[in-house]
Amino acid sequence: MSKQTTVDRAELKRRREATQAHARAWGPGFFVKLILIALVDALGLYGLWMAWQTGSTAIAVIMAVLLAVVNWVYFSKRALPAKYLVPGMIFLLIFQIYVMLNTVFVSFTNYGDRHLGTKEDAIAAIVRNSQLLDLSQPTRDITLLSKGGAYYLAYVNDAGEAVVGGQDQPFAKDDAAQVAGGVVTEVPGYEVKREADFEGMGGSLPTKPVENLKVPLADDPEAGSLKVMATDFAKGQVYKPGVTYDEQTDSLIDNSDLAAGVVIYKANNQTGQFEHNGDRYPRGGGWKVTIGFKNYVKLFTDPSISMTFGKVFLWTVVFAFLSVATTFFFGLLLALAFNSERIRGQKIYRVLMILPYAFPGFMAALLFKNLLNRDYGVINNVILGWIPGFEGIDWLNGSTLMAQFTVIMVNLWLGYPYMFLVCTGALQSIPGDILESARVDGAGPVKRFTKITLPLLFVSVAPLLISSFAFNFNNFNLIYFLTGGGPVPPGGSADDPGGTDIMISMVYKLAGVGENPDYGLATALSIVIFLVVGLIAVYSFRKTRSLEDVM
Amino acid sequence: MTDAELTDNGLPAAGGAAETPPPPRTAADRAKASRRAWWREVGWRHIVAVVVSLYAIFPLVFVINMAVDPNAGLASQSLFQNFSLQNFRDLFASRPFGQQLLNTLIVGGVTAIGTVLMGAAAAYAFSRFRFEGRRFTLTFLLVVQMFPQLLAFVAIFLLVQSLGEVFPVLGMNHLSTVIAIYLGGALGVNTFLMYGFFNTVPISLDEAAKLDGATHAQIYWTIILRMVSPVLAVVGLLSFISSFSEFVIARLVLTDPEKWTLAVSLYDLVGNDRNPYWGMFAAGAVISALPVLLLFLFLQRYIVSGLTAGAVKG
């Protein structure tokens, strides 16, 4: 170190002499800075303008503030530390702090697959999707047309005009259409399709695009729309919205079920859906509203969630703790065993032993999923296959306990090299003279190990153990790739939280896959995870006094 | 490290080896005694080393076998019985795997460089300047780093949707979006590791340079960064690996197979339990593990010092 210091000082002296001719503020560094800031400003102004154009006022304001801050920081003489902090801070603010805050915000809403947008969107979608055959209107003689892969309909309306229209494109008069006997026979630019054209396309006549084709009669959705009859492509029937929205009473009037008669679904602005006697309107979604702490309450009290949540929470803690404990002790034992240069080939051993650390974790998890497969996995077939009478162990999909054991074992393979490296480094940094003086004082090897080596080792690796705990607490890739959270409880689907799901993979299942993603509930769970990990970490960092060193 | 130091570390296993044994009588006795001493001292360590090495490499041996044996994926009974490159050909025929490998290297490389630059700058500020709010910012970073970005993936999705309207390159299906998101986590995770290491560089060095007329930027770029290069290598490597392995955000943002990273692509091959393509997966895993393994071996000597420095502080 000291040698390098003198070298650096000598070089600095040379450098100083070389640069002293220039005024300090106008060196090449200044121009590099100028160019970089100019680039950032250009990008920022472009973004500002675009944000303004697209009406994203919030983004525009944030951009303006950021630009002002960046320019002030880099041209002011006062904000020295900020010059080094700003680049990272900007990314941190946008992609970490902002999304965290927004996560908190979402966790207080019912945002989810069923509650995506505004109330207006929800009503429009419900009215559009509800349809009821309008028996008061005659069946029309229609002509099916196609253009550019899409289908269109044409017919002669009551006024004797030939009209053409398509999906979400109301019928409009087409003067060029040719009519014979009250039926449109040809429309320039379109190809006429007859039932015969669909034969040989997999047997059944009505193909999906035709089946779903619904042409509005007019711009007003109340006017209804024309659909092709499934049994006869030359006939069309008029469908009207089965549901209408009544603004006065803020409710849906549902006509679509003839047997049940008219049902009125009243808008509930607390839950963000239309309800009748407590049942939500079944054929459409609701809208996004703020629901306060309901997601959190649900997590802890709703019997369908809170049981699973409790189990998952417990397993998450156990998993993270055991992962750290097993990898640490195995790594420590190895470090103790190999902390000696008398072993020939130590370098080769070390490279081989830390290979699992260098092999990307997600690939290892997927690989072990194959190796541990009950039927074709290598572990059952080759490594244990020679044992007479061995029938194979269902490592991953049998009992929950077995799957949990397997997960810990796989994580041991993935994690011990890190602990091995860390413990080796820590052992080597323990000053020899302390141990030597203990030996002189008559402490035996066991006593020296337990009273000096181990405590000193713990002090230096404790922060890493805490980080490792926090990492494993959220070790999504291992769980999701190895077991997918399974084994699934009897009668459950793969989307339900299973025996090895940890909290973060449960969040993913709640929000990502299942049938009805509930983002509100998922984000509430995210916040709970954050609080738990944050509290544990802050508490233990305080304990290990690493914070005091920092300050 | 010498023998004396070995026992000084208080290894129980080597217990008493350094205490002088009773003087052996004959040459044969002496040879026997020294052999026993060798076993007690060194020999058993070789056995442990071989066993652990086998434990470490067996999955890797099997994945290579699975990659070169087209029959191995679903019924590996034997090792290296067949050799063919069929899995590799299938892999490249079934998906733009070369492009996906390149995507992953771009994402990992740019993220690693950006993380090192931004993290080192922040660590320098915390280590060398005393400013208002320093203590708060450090504690704040410590807490923020506990919040993995993938927990916020719903909010990230919403953010990407609205950012994409303003900056198309920060919208859906762009590698740059994923990089920007990963860089958002750069400060939280790595500042502490670097901060500890920066503190080990004596501040007298800066002061001497300052006296010689160096600016803070010169001190940072020409002195400090050179002194902390091991930790820069480690942070770069760790950041490369973590963005290399990241799945949730990559899958959320990158929808087009041409834009996928390896994690998304390899999961796509075997994530479906009904029809997993293990052979192609193994071929892809062998190819994609190579850059990481090489980087690792190349930077190996930095890793131990870098990993422990953050906690041990030299």
**CATH number, residue A449:** 1.10.3720.10
Considering the domain architecture, whether residues A181 and A63 belong to the same structural domain is answered as no
User: Are the C-beta atoms of A475 and B119 separated by less than 8 Å?
Assistant: no
Considering the domain architecture, whether residues A384 and A456 belong to the same structural domain is answered as yes
Distance from CA of A294 to the nearest CA of B (A): 18
Least confident of A241-245, B203-207, B262-266, B271-275: B271-275
Considering the domain architecture, whether residues B256 and B208 belong to the same structural domain is answered as yes
Please check whether residue B14 lies inside any domain of the structure: no
Considering the domain architecture, whether residues A434 and A528 belong to the same structural domain is answered as yes
Considering the domain architecture, whether residues A200 and A145 belong to the same structural domain is answered as yes
The encoded tokens of residue B305 equal 């010092």
| Partner residues linked to A115 by β-bridges | A112
- What is the rounded CA–CA span in Å between residue A268 and residue A51? 35
Please check whether residue A85 lies inside any domain of the structure: yes
Considering the domain architecture, whether residues A323 and A384 belong to the same structural domain is answered as yes
Q: How many CA atoms lie within 13 A of A60 on its CB side?
A: 10
User: How high is the pLDDT of residue B21?
Assistant: 52
Please check whether residue B48 lies inside any domain of the structure: yes
Counting the structural domains of chain A, the total is: 3
Reported confidence tier of residue A544, pLDDT bands at 50, 70, 90: low
Amino acid at A256: S
The interface predicted TM-score of the complex, written ipTM, equals 0.84
The encoded tokens of residue A461 equal 């690796």
Reported confidence tier of residue A296, pLDDT bands at 50, 70, 90: very high
Please check whether residue A521 lies inside any domain of the structure: yes
User: Are the C-beta atoms of B266 and B147 separated by less than 8 Å?
Assistant: no
Please check whether residue B117 lies inside any domain of the structure: yes
In the listed set B40, B55, B84, which residue is the last one of a domain according to the structure?
B84
Say what percent of chain B tops pLDDT 70: 86
Please check whether residue B12 lies inside any domain of the structure: no
- What is the rounded CA–CA span in Å between residue A224 and residue A523? 40
What are the b/e assignments for B237-262, b being 16+ CB within 10 Å? Answer: bbbbbbbbbbbbbbbbbbeeeebbbb
Name chain A contacts of B121, Cβ cutoff 8 Å. 84-85, 87-88
- Indicate the DSSP class of residue B20: P
Does A20 have pLDDT greater than 70?
no
Residue B291 sits in a domain of what CATH number? 1.10.3720.10
- Tokens 């069923």 sit at which residue? A114
The encoded tokens of residue A441 equal 């004082």
Cβ count near B278 (within 10 Å): 24
List pLDDT tens digits, range A410-419. Answer: 999 999 998 9
Locate all alpha helices (DSSP H) within B1-96, ordered by sequence: 3-8, 27-38, 44-68, 86-94
Phi-psi region at A390: left, alpha or beta (left = phi > 0; alpha = psi -120 to 50): beta
Considering the domain architecture, whether residues B208 and B301 belong to the same structural domain is answered as yes
Distance from CA of B28 to the nearest CA of A (A): 24
For residue A437, give every residue at least 6 positions away whose Cβ sits within 8 Å of its Cβ, in sequence order, or none.
none
Question: Distance of CA A226 to CAs A142, A143, A214, A284, Å?
Answer: 10, 12, 6, 22
Counting the structural domains of chain B, the total is: 2
Does A404 have pLDDT greater than 90?
yes
Angle at A79 between CA B139 and CA B215, to 5 degrees: 110
Average pLDDT over residues A47-68: 86
Please check whether residue B276 lies inside any domain of the structure: yes
Chain B residue with the nearest C-alpha to that of A362: B245
Contact check, Cβ <8 Å, B159/A95: yes
Considering the domain architecture, whether residues B62 and B177 belong to the same structural domain is answered as no
- What is the rounded CA–CA span in Å between residue A304 and residue A295? 13
- Indicate the DSSP class of residue B23: P
Please check whether residue A60 lies inside any domain of the structure: yes
User: Are the C-beta atoms of B80 and B68 separated by less than 8 Å?
Assistant: yes
A97 three-class SS? helix
The encoded tokens of residue A545 equal 């006094």
Reported confidence tier of residue B8, pLDDT bands at 50, 70, 90: very low
User: How high is the pLDDT of residue B13?
Assistant: 40
Considering the domain architecture, whether residues A174 and A70 belong to the same structural domain is answered as no
Phi-psi region at A168: left, alpha or beta (left = phi > 0; alpha = psi -120 to 50): left
Mutate to test the interface with B, among A20, A340, A371 (most CBs of B within 10 A): A340
3-class secondary structure per residue, B198-210 = HHCCCHHHHHHHH
Residue A331's Cβ-count burial label (10 Å; 0-12, 13-18, 19+) is buried
Name chain B contacts of A59, Cβ cutoff 8 Å. 162-163, 166
In the listed set A107, A142, A173, which residue is the last one of a domain according to the structure?
A107
User: How high is the pLDDT of residue B189?
Assistant: 67
Please check whether residue A468 lies inside any domain of the structure: yes
Distance from CA of B168 to the nearest CA of A (A): 10
Considering only the beta carbons, identify the residue of B144, B217, B296 that sits closest to A96.
B144
What are the b/e assignments for B6-37, b being 16+ CB within 10 Å? Answer: bbbbbbebbeebeeeeeeeeeeeeeeeeeeee
Considering the domain architecture, whether residues A515 and A378 belong to the same structural domain is answered as yes
- pTM listed for this prediction: 0.80
Contact check, Cβ <8 Å, A92/B137: no
In the listed set A206, A222, A240, which residue is the last one of a domain according to the structure?
A240
Considering only the beta carbons, identify the residue of B166, B187, B313 that sits closest to A47.
B166
Quick check: A366 contacting B, CB < 8 Å? yes
Please check whether residue A173 lies inside any domain of the structure: yes
Considering the domain architecture, whether residues B111 and B202 belong to the same structural domain is answered as yes
In the listed set B60, B84, B108, which residue is the last one of a domain according to the structure?
B84
The pair phi, psi for residue A372, each rounded to 5°, is -95, 5
The encoded tokens of residue A251 equal 């409710």
Q: Count H helices, E strands: chain B?
A: 17, 0
Please check whether residue B123 lies inside any domain of the structure: yes
Please check whether residue A172 lies inside any domain of the structure: yes
Please check whether residue B8 lies inside any domain of the structure: no
Considering the domain architecture, whether residues A234 and A358 belong to the same structural domain is answered as no
Name chain B contacts of A507, Cβ cutoff 8 Å. 151
Considering the domain architecture, whether residues B23 and B42 belong to the same structural domain is answered as yes
Name chain A contacts of B143, Cβ cutoff 8 Å. 534, 537-538
Considering the domain architecture, whether residues B154 and B256 belong to the same structural domain is answered as yes
- What is the rounded CA–CA span in Å between residue B148 and residue A502? 14
Residue A40 sits in a domain of what CATH number? 1.20.58
Does B264 have pLDDT greater than 70?
yes
Range of the domain at B113: 95-312
For residue A251, give every residue at least 6 positions away whose Cβ sits within 8 Å of its Cβ, in sequence order, or none.
A245, A264, A265, A266, A267, A274
Does A14 have pLDDT greater than 70?
no
A447 vs A77: which has the higher pLDDT:
A447
> What single string gives the DSSP state of each residue in A27-90?
SHHHHHHHHHHHHHHHHHHHHHHHHHHTT-HHHHHHHHHHHHHHHHHHH-SS-HHHHHHHHHHH
Considering the domain architecture, whether residues B140 and B264 belong to the same structural domain is answered as yes
Q: Count H helices, E strands: chain A?
A: 21, 16
Query: Average per-residue pLDDT in chain B?
Result: 82
- Indicate the DSSP class of residue B34: H
List pLDDT tens digits, range A70-88. Answer: 999 888 877 888 889 988 8
> What single string gives the DSSP state of each residue in A416-482?
HHHHHHHHHHHHHTS-HHHHHHHHHTT--HHHHIIIIIHHHHHHHHHHHHHHHHHHHHT-HHHHHHH
Considering the domain architecture, whether residues B103 and B52 belong to the same structural domain is answered as no
Considering the domain architecture, whether residues B80 and B128 belong to the same structural domain is answered as no
Considering the domain architecture, whether residues A353 and A452 belong to the same structural domain is answered as yes
List pLDDT tens digits, range B46-80. Answer: 888 889 999 999 899 889 988 988 776 665 566 77
Please check whether residue A389 lies inside any domain of the structure: yes
Mutate to test the interface with B, among A111, A363, A414, A434 (most CBs of B within 10 A): A363
For chain B, helix, strand, coil in percent to 5 are 75, 0, 25
A71 vs B143: which has the higher pLDDT:
A71
The pair phi, psi for residue A440, each rounded to 5°, is -60, -35
Considering only the beta carbons, identify the residue of B76, B151, B305 that sits closest to A504.
B151
User: How high is the pLDDT of residue B100?
Assistant: 95
- What is the rounded CA–CA span in Å between residue B130 and residue A81? 8
Contact check, Cβ <8 Å, A476/B195: no
Name chain A contacts of B200, Cβ cutoff 8 Å. none
Range of the domain at A226: 133-240
In the listed set B84, B104, B122, which residue is the last one of a domain according to the structure?
B84
Considering the domain architecture, whether residues A356 and A453 belong to the same structural domain is answered as yes
User: How high is the pLDDT of residue B116?
Assistant: 94
Pseudo-torsion of CA A153, A156, A162, A166, nearest 10°?
A: -20
Considering the domain architecture, whether residues B51 and B125 belong to the same structural domain is answered as no
From the list A350, A342, A392, A347, the residue with the least C-alpha distance to A372 is: A392
Quick check: A476 contacting B, CB < 8 Å? yes
Considering the domain architecture, whether residues B142 and B182 belong to the same structural domain is answered as yes
List pLDDT tens digits, range A418-439. Answer: 899 888 888 887 888 888 888 8
Considering the domain architecture, whether residues A401 and A357 belong to the same structural domain is answered as yes
Average pLDDT over residues B261-286: 89
- What is the rounded CA–CA span in Å between residue A423 and residue A35? 46
Least confident of A24-33, B5-14, B29-38: B5-14
Its sign, for the CA torsion A170, A174, A179, A184, is negative
User: Are the C-beta atoms of B163 and A59 separated by less than 8 Å?
Assistant: yes
Say what percent of chain B tops pLDDT 90: 27
Considering the domain architecture, whether residues A518 and A425 belong to the same structural domain is answered as yes
Please check whether residue A375 lies inside any domain of the structure: yes
Reported confidence tier of residue A169, pLDDT bands at 50, 70, 90: confident
Contact check, Cβ <8 Å, B180/A446: no
Instruction: State how far Cα A310 lies from the chain centre.
Output: 22
A138: enclosing H helix or E strand: none
- What is the rounded CA–CA span in Å between residue A549 and residue B6? 30
Considering the domain architecture, whether residues B100 and B50 belong to the same structural domain is answered as no
Please check whether residue B1 lies inside any domain of the structure: no
